Structure 1
Amino acid sequence: MTERPLRLLLDFDHQAQRDRSQPPAFLHRRDRKFALLCREQGVVPDAARWLSHLQRLSGPEAAPTPAEQTLSSWRRITGGFAAAGAITGILTMSGLLFYEGGQRINITVLLAFVLLHLALALATTVQAMAGWQPWRRLLRRVGKTAGEGAFRQLQPLLMARAAHLGGLCFALTGLATLLTLVVIQDLAFGWSTTLDTAATGYHRLIRAIAAPWAWLWPAAVPDLALVEATRFFRAGEGNGIQPGLWGQWWPFVTMLWSAWVVLPRLLLWLLMSRQLQRRARDLLTSHPAMHALRYRMETATLETGNAHNDAHDLPDTRTRSNLLPLPDSDVLLCWAGAGEPELPDALRAGKGLVVRAGGRSSLAGDEEALRAIEAQLNGRADAIILLVRSWEPPTGELEDLLESARRIWPDGTSVALVPLAADAHREPAPHQIQPWLRFAEKIGGDFLRVSLPPMSEPSPYAGKDRAL
């Protein structure tokens, strides 16, 4: 059975533990951007795609992940159970069918052993469903602790699956040993019991046990004559014993082992594997980090620009007048509808390239806008004018765009951020400029500076220092 749901749960739980050390704002921007990317591609943002996205961002890992180490340990445990079961099956069947010509192989002993094996298989299944861990000492001996997080709840099912696989290997090698001994030896079967049991009662028991395969192989259901003829006693062989009938029990023994030992183990192993997958999916769905991830993906990010959240800190006033003159640039980038429906004449004149990004534009459109500016620069470092709406606060999407631009554009390129007022012929109010000044300081003063648009009317900032 596939281990994909279990591996997905382990990888997600490990990533959730790593995210505990990250700032909430960073996690929100990262996961919100992933959700927007999935929406653009028309796919559902699930845990598997989220983990693949993070793996592409972080690159391949040289060392095995914790999920791979855990699954590798459990594969060794399961392999040990399978090998032990296979060897034990050969030895057990050889002991049950041991025959040296002086006695017969008692069918009653075989029935009792099959009943014991079936009871152990059912007990293993019940303890796994109830969540018991009788294997805890064994896990400590092999150096496997109870684990952490959601994985701890899966250990009873994992141990039950390993035990059933060992039992299945035991049953298969026992069946192979039985068929081999039937071919190479002349086995003599019979039945006997200390209790005063009549042949007719024993025959009814045999027919009830053989009911599952009576329609498939009638020869594997002993008749009353065979039961009466093969009973033996401790002190003698009895009357009317025919040695030629002693070997006619082998079809019944073969089907007995196949139907009541091999088949139950196979079904229980498949049941534990399916139950393990279902339980892993349920734990992933109800994982606390999954609820937080869904909230971050469904909630838009909003960057206020406030660098302090402590009531005892004073407001940061160092960037109140860090306004630079508007540079001479022929490239204009309009963010989220800034400059619509029409750009001011003072900004539109002399521009060789005007592109738009953000707002209704897709992520692919934003990437094309950055590439178009890169082609316009043609390897030279220059200033880019970025128009924004002054009354809208800076967002995480704009920060992501500037980070991408810094990687794509030539080194030394700078950005002059120009906040436009609702009335394009007036400068924005001072309280609307302050968030953009703090935003520019956060991004980096060597890359992003704030400028005011050129005005033909007198400016309320006249006489104030606009440079650092």
Structure 2
Amino acid sequence: MSIWEKSLLLILLRQQLESERTTDWQVLHRRDRGWALAQPGQPPWQLLRGWLQQQGVSPASGTTLFIYGIGVAAFMSGFALMAGLLAYQPFQRINLLWFLLIALFLPFVWWLLALFFTGAQVPFPLRTLYEHRLPQGRFLIPLSALLKQTVVALGQHLSLLFAGGMLIAFLLYLLLTDLAFGWSSTLDLGNDLIHQITATLAWPWQNLWPDAVPSMALIEQTHYFRAAPLAVEQPVLYGQWWRFLLMSLLVYLLLPRLATAAWARYRLSRMQERVRQNDALISGLWQRLTSELIDQEAEPVEQREPSGQAVEPATHPDRYAQIICWGVWPDTLLGALREQLLRDGTETRWIAVDSATTQDASLAALDGLPDQPLLLLCKGWEPPTGELADLCQGLAGQRSRLFLWPVPLPGMSEARQRNLIQSWQSFMRQLPDSVHLTSGHLPQAVMHG
């Protein structure tokens, strides 16, 4: 699977999982785990693509062909630009100044501008070229960074192919034709200025390949004037510029793009892995695909005997100074919870944490706040994850009183809610003593809405 197909796969996965986020976790677990057991030995990305296909959402098979097509177009554009520069020979000479301007300076400036917009905190100029072509929905918001990095990596990939086309065309013309280079200008630039410019450009390879550094004699003898014929006494001098131009294309055109394209692909690959592992919905899918079904499948939750080691859940304090909402929630449930918990009008800080990135930022923000009671909301219908345990460990180091509330699904019976609390006891044993398990009633608007 290509790196571009992985980005498309994550977008389609997020869209599909967004439509299922209100479905009971156990129902999804039985469905997804049963399917995964019939797919042995598949790598993670192939397994996720197979799951998406069996849901009736097939990733676009033409993605690779489309990337290949625009790559060929970029390569041929670079080839055509260089061919035009070398084939257009007024007075039978290729003007060195035009060559440096069009083949080196302008592409190098364009590369620097691309680096600036990639790294600087400014609005991304290519946003309008791709965002309006994507399907609309909230599922794209958590993937905005992935979308930007995908476009950046694709742009660097095409830029590298463009530079490769220019270099291949230069080598072919160098091999198959007799190129004559010289320099001329209406302005009296002078041999010293041209020598200074070329010496500066040739500084990176002056010790590696001294013959590729133009001498003053070469500059003086290849300076031609209007309508002047080629010097017949030393015609070979007009071909000596090829070494300098070849190294200039390698150093200022190809190698920078090779480095940035490799770096952009590496960053995109790392970001794709982070999204696959840390996104709340996609990591939940992976957990359902890989985790074993528990005994609850054969015995209803309401009929299980309560454990003798269960700890009585704590009651809610009068108010919370900080509330953290873990994961991606249904809008109706989350809105009603906010209205219930913030109804007294006190200054309660509400923080949403849906990924490892926002988790680190939230811990850093809480570190500067007073040590006051903190409520951590999590979806009780989903099993606890390692990321949730890490978050609790980090919060326990900052707060002396931390309350964990696994919120039940709307419409869940009182008996099942009690068993839900008991099912979290084993998870609570992994956490510090300052973390207390609590329970509460859902707002009536959610229960009957």
Count of aligned residue pairs for this structure pair: 293
Change (3 A) 1:76 1:226: same
Q: Is the 8 A contact 2:7 2:150 kept in 1?
A: no
* Matched residue, 1:48: 44
Counterparts of residues 171-320 of structure 1 (less than 5 Å): 171-234=163-226, 242-289=234-281, 303-305=300-302
Answer with 1 or 2: which has the greater Rg.
1
Alignment match of 1:122 (pick from 83, 90, 112): 112
Q: TM-score, normalised by structure 1?
A: 0.51
CA distance in structure 1 between the partners assigned to 2:127 and 2:157 by the alignment: 19
Deviation at 1:160, TM superposition (A): 2.7
Counterparts of residues 332-343 of structure 1 (less than 5 Å): none
Counterparts of residues 311-390 of structure 1 (less than 5 Å): none
* Matched residue, 2:79: 90
CA distance in structure 1 between the partners assigned to 2:226 and 2:90 by the alignment: 15
Change (3 A) 1:53 1:103: closer
Counterparts of residues 27-176 of structure 1 (less than 5 Å): 27=28, 48=44, 52=47, 61=54, 65-66=57-58, 68-69=59-60, 72=61, 74-100=63-89, 102-113=91-102, 114-129=104-119, 130=121, 132-139=123-130, 143-145=133-135, 148-149=139-140, 150-176=142-168
CA distance in structure 2 between the partners assigned to 1:121 and 1:54 by the alignment: 35
CA distance in structure 1 between the partners assigned to 2:286 and 2:175 by the alignment: 63
Q: Is the 8 A contact 1:78 1:165 kept in 2?
A: no
Render the CA deviation track for 1:184-204: whole Å, top value 9, x for unaligned.
Answer: 322211123444433233222
* Matched residue, 1:16: 17
Counterpart code for 2:240: Q
Q: TM-score, normalised by structure 2?
A: 0.53
Q: Is the 8 A contact 1:230 1:241 kept in 2?
A: no
Q: Is the 8 A contact 1:284 1:290 kept in 2?
A: yes
Which range moves more in the overlay, 11-20 or 224-233? 11-20
Deviation at 1:90, TM superposition (A): 2.3
Change (3 A) 1:250 1:54: closer
SS in 2 for 1:102: helix
* Matched residue, 2:418: none
Q: Is the 8 A contact 2:198 2:214 kept in 1?
A: yes
Which range moves more in the overlay, 284-293 or 258-267? 284-293
Percent identical across equivalent pairs?
29
CA distance in structure 2 between the partners assigned to 1:140 and 1:10 by the alignment: 12
Deviation at 1:96, TM superposition (A): 0.9
Deviation at 1:306, TM superposition (A): 7.3
CA distance in structure 2 between the partners assigned to 1:144 and 1:289 by the alignment: 20
Change (3 A) 1:294 1:243: closer
Counterpart code for 1:17: E
SS in 1 for 2:54: coil
Change (3 A) 1:265 1:146: farther
Q: Is the 8 A contact 2:7 2:146 kept in 1?
A: no
User: Cα RMSD (Å) of the superposition?
Assistant: 4.5
Deviation at 1:101, TM superposition (A): 6.5
SS in 2 for 1:123: helix
Deviation at 1:291, TM superposition (A): 6.9
CA distance in structure 2 between the partners assigned to 1:95 and 1:59 by the alignment: 47
Which range moves more in the overlay, 231-240 or 291-300? 291-300
Q: Is the 8 A contact 1:32 1:300 kept in 2?
A: no
Q: Is the 8 A contact 1:85 1:169 kept in 2?
A: yes
Counterpart code for 1:227: I
